[in-house]
Each structure stands twice: as C-alpha cells, then as structure tokens.
Structure 1
Amino acid sequence: MTKVALLGAGGKMGVRLSTNLQGSRFDVDHVEVSETGRERLKNAVGVNCVERDIALGQADVVVMAVPDRLIGSIAHDIIDKIRPGTAIIVLDAAAPYAGKMPTRADVTYFVTHPCHPPIINDETTPTAKADFFGGVHAKQHIVCALMQGPEEHYALCEEVAREIYKPVMRAHRCTVENIAILEPALSETVGITLCLAMKDAVDEAVRRGVPQQAATDFMLGHINIGLSIAFGIFPEGRFSDGALLAIEQAKPQIFREGWLDRVFNKDAVMQSVKDICEA
C-alpha cells in the first residue's frame, strides 16, 4: 500500500482529512505534535499517532495539513527526514507561490485546494445541503498543481486529493500561480469581501426599517438568481431593464476604476500570499 504521512492530523482540517482517508487504499501514519490534537483525533477518528520522524522516513506521500504561516518553517524542518522520490502535498498555494518551500530537486511538490460545494448544486439530502464546507456529504470540485516532480506523481497526488476532499466532482489541473490567483485574489480578496459587503448592505436596509428576515430572504434569493444569470447557468434568464440601469449606475459608485488590475496583477497576488505566510 502507498504510505501517507499526514502532518497536523489532529487539527480541524487534519481530522477532516483523517476521516476521509479511513477505508482508502492508503496506509496512513497520523502525525500530531499537540496532546490536545492527539486526543481530538483519537476521539473523532479512533486512531493513534505516529512519531513524526518515523512517519516521514517511510512515507511515499506527505500531506501538510498545517496553517499557512507554518508551512514554510515546517517544510524546512522536515525536508532532510524525507526519502528521495517522496511527494509532498500542500493544501494551499500561498507558501509554495511565495517561495517558502525548501529547495530539493529529488522530491515532488504538489498543491491542491477545495473549491467547496457550489452554491448552485443538485444536492437533495438535508445533510448534503448543510455541508457548506464540503468534504463530508456535499460534492465539490478541487484544483491541483504539480509544482515540481515527475509527471506520474500527478495522478498519485490527485488520487490522494480526491480522497481527502471527497466526494469530488471535477479535479482541475492548474499551475501554482493559477491557484494563488484563485485564492486569495479571486475567492477572498474579491469573493468573500463582496459577501461581507452584501451582509453590510442587508444590515443597512434593516437599519432603515426593513424587517431583518425579509431583507435576508430577499438578498439570498436575488443572489441565487443573479449568479445563475451572470454565470450562464440559467441561460434563458435575463436581467431586467431596470436591473441593468441600476447596475450601470451603481458600478462607478461601488468600484474604483482599475480595481481588477489592482487585485489581480502579479505583484498584488505575490504580496497577498506573502502577507498570509507571515501573518
């Protein structure tokens, strides 16, 4: 069996991954430095941990389920314990894109990240509908990048990624730079910021007298149809003339000219990932 060392197995993300790897074809050594994390893992998954250096010395694949700000330092700390030909999987592009990974030509670096369950989906069960993060009941897509290493390692690492994030629909092959653009620039700098702006707008409508639940229901419903039209998921849908006029008038009020280039240019993306790694 392929041997996997899961670092940070007792953390919040680590427990999710540990659970999904149960029953897979992979033989997993769970590594967790904190006693609290070890107890959490034992209670949640029913497995015991292995000493780090033992796990690393026999691993074919190392999965780093650790915080972004620690990936670089941990990677430098463990790199001499890893056998040549080992694949190291990182769950976010920030540290690899920011140049935080140690230089070693005889290991593979692979980056993967979940897209999370799409807001417009075909889920029917209550448990799947309530799985907003993904990796438990709801289906999701993922992105993957082979940063360095032999091509045959791509298939192996994608298989691991599909296990830890399952149930998975599409696995998109990207570059590390692609994934850095997707997160933080696209998903957080733009997407989550706009989500919070919409919540601020709902709060303002409530402050001006609209009932809280009415404002929330109205916004969430209009987000659903608005996204379905904007992304071509509802092809027969059209924005009304009134909506188009409101959009035309609102854009210069809400967005500064040139905002897309300021967010997505290479220097801005690099600075963002460096800030994440050094936070």
Structure 2
Amino acid sequence: MTTIALIGAGGKMGTRLSRNLAQSDYQVRHVEVSDAGRQRLKDELNIDCIANGEDAVQGADAVILAVPDTLIQKISHALSPHIAPGTMVICLDAAAPFAGHLPSRTDLVYFVTHPCHPPIFNDETTLEAKRDYFGGSHATQHIVSALMQVDADRHEAMFDQGEAIAKAIYAPVGRTHRVSVEQMALLEPGLSETVCATLLSVMREAMDEVVARGVSEQCARDFLLGHMNILGAVIFDEQPGAFSDACNKAIENGKPMLMRDDWKKVFEPDAIADSIRRIT
C-alpha cells in the first residue's frame, strides 16, 4: 500500500484532498499545523492530524505539498532532510517548481499536477454536479500533470504513480494531459489567470457599467451570461455556426479598443517568469 504524507491537510485545498483520499486505497498521514485545520478535519471527516511533518514524511512513498505557493520553498526545504531518496514530492501548482523553489536533490522525484476544473460545456445531469464549479467532488474534471525530475530508468513508472495519485485527489477525473512544467506555467498563470481571469473581470466591470447606465442588474446579468453561453459555444466549436456580420464588425471595432496589439507577449518566457515571481 502506497503511503502518502499530506502536508497542509486541513487547509482549503488540503481538506478537499483529504476527503478524496479517504475514499482511496492510499494510506495517508495527515499533517496540519493549525488548530482550526485539525479541528476541521476532525469535525468533517473524523480524521486525526499530526503537527509534525518531519515524522510524517519519513518512510512515505509520496509527499503532497498542499500549501500556498509562498510557503512551498520554506516547507519543502525544512522537510527535505527527513525525506528518503526516491520519494515522490508532489506540488499542486507549477509556480514554485518553475521558480526553482524545491530543494536541489536529484535523488527525489518531483511531480506537478493541477486540475482544469469542470468545463463550462459538459454532460453533467445531477444538480450537485452542475453546481460543483471547482471540481473534486461531484463533477468530472480533466487534469494536467508533469514529471519534473526523475531517474531516466524510472520515468514511465513514476509518471504512472504520480498520475494515479492525481486521479485520486482530483476525482472524478476525465481526461489526463501530460505536459512539461514550462507548458503548465503557460496554462497557469498565463492562460487561466493573466488572460482568462483578467478578461472575465473586465466583463464583470462591463456588466456593472451597463447597470450604472440604467439597465437593471438582473436584466444585464441574464443578457450577458446568456450571450457568453452561445458566443462561447460558437467560438470554441461546441456549436456549429457563425457570427452575424454585425457581430463580426463589433469584434473588429472593439478589439483594438480593448486589447493592445502586443497582448500575446504575456506568454513570452520572461513575462511568465515575472508573473510567477510575483506569485511566489
């Protein structure tokens, strides 16, 4: 039986992982330093935590760092002397690994995995799944994973082991995508946060501006979210069709007003690295 040391087990993400791992065949050592986190796991999942991560990682097959990006360097380096060679260290985001914040130990396996979250266009039928926007509970989501560091002769076996753990912690999982850490950084923060979250934030500001100019909030919300659905379906090839000439003309005129000509520079390596430095 694979033994996992889950660091940050009572945090926001750690609690989600603890809940899913409780339904798996993995043996889990839950580590949580805060009283509130330990109490949360006890109340919600009847799980007893320990506060000493140094004891938990000794002899573990895998160590999951379910802690904020800003703490990964400090925590991973503090635990490193107690982690045996060959152990898999799993990060849930590419930021800290990309920034070089993990210990310089070539005898460890570094695996990075991140959820895509349930897609807007899906086949969910139950209310619980339809309202599981984050994933890892009722709705199926896809995931991305990267094997950052491993001995060449154990490459495939270690990727399979890491991916199996990723499927367990993010369940239910649909597609799994194998990427590099650099590609994962393009996806986040590049695609998902710098671009998507920013543009969605602007869309919310636009809705608020329409409300400020006299349209009722419910009307503006219904109109925007409905158009996001059909326009998104056409743009992302979920729905056959084409925009009207008027819509295409609005896009042609609107894009220069909203977007800089060089906006794709956000995906350049230096820009990604700068963004990750700010995050970590």
1: CA distance between counterparts of 2:11 and 2:23? 20
User: Residue 103 of structure 2: SS of its match in structure 1?
Assistant: coil
Which of 207, 231, 241 is matched with 1:202 structurally? 207
2:90 corresponding residue in structure 1? 89
Aligned to 2:147, the other structure's residue is in SS state strand
Choose the corresponding residue for 2:262, options 255, 258, 261: 258
User: Match for 1:217 among 209, 216, 222?
Assistant: 222
1:154 matches 2:155: no
The alignment's TM-score, normalised by the length of structure 2, stands at: 0.97
Give the counterpart letter for 1:264 in structure 2: F
Q: Distance in 1 between matches of 2:23 and 2:201?
A: 39
Query: Alpha carbon RMSD of aligned pairs, Å?
Result: 0.8
- Classify the secondary structure of the residue corresponding to 2:16: helix
Question: Within 2, Cα distance between the matches of 1:122 and 1:131?
Answer: 13
Within 5 A, what are the aligned runs for 1:57-76?
Answer: 57-76=58-77
Structure 1 spans left out of the alignment, 5+ residues: none
Deviation sequence 1:228-272 (CA, Å, 0-9, x none): 1111111x22111110000000011100111112x1100000011
Deviant stretches of 4+, over 6 Å: none
The Cα offsets for residues 172-216 of structure 1, whole Å up to 9 and x where unpaired, read as 000001111111111001101111111111111111111111110
| 2:274 pairs with one of 271, 274, 278 | 271
**Secondary structure in 2 matching 1:84:** coil
Structure 1 residue 23: Cα displacement? 2.5
Point out the more displaced range, 41-50 or 176-185.
Answer: 41-50
Total equivalences in the alignment: 275
State the partner residue of 2:132.
131
| Rounded Cα–Cα distance in structure 2 between residues aligned with 1:58 and 1:44 | 28
The CA deviation string for residues 34-54 of structure 1, in whole angstroms up to 9 with x for no partner, is: 111111111111111133222
Q: Secondary structure at the match of 2:4?
A: strand
Structure 2 counterpart of 1:47: 47
Supply the distance in 2 between the matched residues of 1:93 and 1:20 (Cα, whole angstroms). Answer: 22
Q: Give unmatched runs, 5+ long, in structure 2.
A: none
- What is the rounded CA distance, in whole Å, between the counterparts of 1:11 and 1:153 in structure 2? 27
SS at 2:101 equivalent: coil
Q: Which residue of 2 aligns with 1:238?
A: 242
Partner residue, 1:141: 142
